[in-house]
Structures are given as C-alpha cells and as structure tokens.
Structure 1
C-alpha cells in the first residue's frame, strides 16, 4: 500500500444521503401540513364563535320574548257611573240612560286595537241594561278612557224589593260584564289576538256619583 491510497470513512448506519429535490419535497409537504393544521384551527375557532353568537342571540330573544316583547293582559275598569235623579222618583219612564266612564289600560309596548263590543249591566243577577262599545285603540302603555250610555230598563230595578232600601242608604250596587276582543302587534312580527272578559261589582254613591267600591275578575285568552 502506498501513501497516496487514502481510506474514506464509511457512512454511519441508518444515514441516508438525500438529494436536494427530496429535501425540497419534504419541506413543501411540511409546509402544506402546517397550513392544513392552521386552516382546521381557524375553522374550529370560527365555528365556535358562530355557535356562541347563535346561542347568545337565542338567549337574548328568549329573554325579550318573556319580558319586553311578552303580550301582557289589558285591563278594563269603570271609573264613574252617573245615575239620573229621575230613577229615584216614584214615576219614572220605562227606560233611562246611565252614563258610565270606562278605562282600557294597555300595559304592552304596542297599541291594543279592539273591535265593537258590549257591556251588560246587572242588578242582583238580573240584566237591567246594555251598552255598546265602539271599536277603538289603547296606545302603548297608556290608558284609554271612554264614556258610554247604558240603556236601563227601570222596571227591572223597581221590581226588586231591595232597590228602594238600597237607594235610601245612599248607594247602589250593580254588576257589569264586558267582553272585549282585539289584537296586539309588536314590531310587525309578534301578532296576538286578545279576548278580555271582565266581571265587575261596582258600588256607586248616589250623591257624588263616584265609585265607592269596585271588585273585578278578569279572564284573558291569547
């Protein structure tokens, strides 16, 4: 062996000499996998944000539907009743008019529109009068006052033996039944048909014509 002969070390086991093309391909594959991973991560984040937004919106809509946008029950009350003095005389006509002032309270955030209706007046369970309520509306969160004339059959009052004694005491107790049908429409989306039925017992002072006592039972159908 001469000095010019040089020994070259053997490549270690498991070591593989790769060309520049193979290295470039590996780099591209690694970059592609990284981009796919980032894309999946962004898609998961986007999906989570959308799901959270939908859930929050659903919760807010539900809360609004149960609170602000919930259709509340309108109320009907009689504020005043005017009894003509002729009813207290011995000789009275067959029919007279009792003037009553009613109030329709609308607690909703939208107008309550109601159709034509009637009010029946009772004395000890007997119908003694009837009034017609024209169609109208109670604005949002307002009270609509109206005055109506009730046609009363006087003979039905006088036929009751308790009438003169009650009048002598300075008060008159009557009952009324009112049925009112209407509709509440909120932001052109929520439309509710509302039927309000009110039974009231009213005690009026003969002298002042004011309401001494009033007890009402309400039934509302939506």
Structure 2
C-alpha cells in the first residue's frame, strides 16, 4: 500500500518585528547633543584661557624727560602786573605690557600745578605692538595767568623747585578672542628744578578699567 505523503503547510508568523527607526533617531539626537556640549565646553575653556593668559593690562605712560623752555618771569611795575611765559617740553613713553597689540585713541596730557590745569598737549591715535614701547615728544604752553592765581607759585620759584602733576587717560582696544575695550589712567607727580630747568623727580600711579 502506497503511503501518501502528507504535505505540511508552513505556519506564517504574523507578529510584527519591532522597528529600529526610533532607536536610530534617539542615537542621532544623543550624538548631536554630545557634540554641541563638547563645542560649548571647548569655547568656554578657550575664553577662560584667553582671558587668563592674555588678561589685558594697563598701558604704562612715563616721562623720560621734562625740560622748561622759554621761562620768563617779568614784573610790570607801572601796571602792577606780573607776566609769566613758560613752555614745557617732555618726552613721553607709552609701554604696552600685553601679549597682544594695543590700539589707542587720540588723547591729551593734562599738566597741573597744585590742582590747577595750566596746559595740555595732544597725543595722536596709534598702535603699540605686543610688549613694546613707543616714545613721542610733546610741548605744553603754560597758561601763565593761571599760575599767578596760586599764592604758592612765587615761593616755589624762590625755593628752586616747582611741583607739577600730569593726568593722561589712554583708551583703546586689545584683541584677544574678541575686542576688549581698555581704559588706562596715569597720573604722575613731577618735581622741576628751576636752576637746571629739568625734571629732578617723578612718581607715577596707574589705574585700568576693562
């Protein structure tokens, strides 16, 4: 008797396989977040290092020499008047202690006698390289009538020394990772020897705002 072969019908699996698309999207999103966080972290580190290593410092303004020129003190007896003519020649040095260049705006040097503004001289805009010093010559014509308003002027002249002070405000930009505005103020106390008409002593103080 011939055996009948029984044909088995395969059973179809109707259960749906889980989709991998959400996992791929989640993984891609995580990668983007990680890359963004790394970029932000590197930017913060770069700013901190830049500000710390290249922290802007004040520009230093000093007077290499100060000379009195055309000093003339005369008395007009008939008119009971005193005339003073005086010009101050100075060599000014500006030092940039920063690791990067400093570009400064036009400004002026104010000359004072016992708190009175008696003259000024312009300093034109320029640029100083990293850790460099630039020097310039300035001439200040003194307002003689302002000197005479001080009761101490004649006693200072007789003593042989005249105390003067200067005020210089230097504003400019230092480019680190971005441009930083810097304002440097220098005040100097000077002592002028009348006999030699030269600078005999100076003391300077500095202040910086960023």
CA gap of 1:128–1:44, structure 2 versus 1, over 3 A, is closer
Q: TM-score, normalised by structure 1?
A: 0.65
Equivalent residue, structure 2, for 1:112: 103
CA gap of 1:177–1:84, structure 2 versus 1, over 3 A, is closer
Shift of 1:44: 2.9
Equivalent residue, structure 1, for 2:38: 52
- Counterpart-to-counterpart distance in 2, 1:206 and 1:18: 124
Stretch of structure 1 that moved more, 155-164 or 57-66? 155-164
- Counterpart-to-counterpart distance in 2, 1:159 and 1:205: 14
Q: Quick check: which one's strand share is greater?
A: 2
> Which of 159, 184, 203 is the aligned partner of 2:191?
203
Q: TM-score, normalised by structure 2?
A: 0.68
1:41-86 Cα distance to aligned partner (Å, 9 max, x none): 4543453243123212222123213432x43322211111113485
> Which of 55, 72, 79 is the aligned partner of 2:64?
79
Please give the secondary structure, in 1, of the residue aligned with 2:154.
coil
- 1:1-222 matches, cutoff 5 A: 19=10, 21-22=12-13, 29=17, 32-33=19-20, 37=23, 40-41=26-27, 43-68=29-54, 70-84=55-69, 94-108=84-98, 109-122=100-113, 125=114, 127=116, 129-141=118-130, 142-152=132-142, 153=144, 156=148, 159-165=153-159, 167=160, 172-186=161-175, 189-192=178-181, 194-204=182-192, 211-222=199-210
CA RMSD of aligned residues (A): 3.8
Please give the secondary structure, in 2, of the residue aligned with 1:161.
helix
Please give the secondary structure, in 2, of the residue aligned with 1:59.
helix
Structure showing greater Rg: 1
- Counterpart-to-counterpart distance in 2, 1:204 and 1:103: 18
Q: Quick check: which one's helix share is greater?
A: 1
Whether the 8 Å CA contact 2:109–2:167 is kept in 1: the answer is: yes
CA gap of 1:198–1:29, structure 2 versus 1, over 3 A, is same
Unaligned segments of structure 1, at least 5 residues: 1-16
Whether the 8 Å CA contact 2:58–2:183 is kept in 1: the answer is: no
Unaligned segments of structure 2, at least 5 residues: 1-7, 76-81
| Equivalences, count | 191
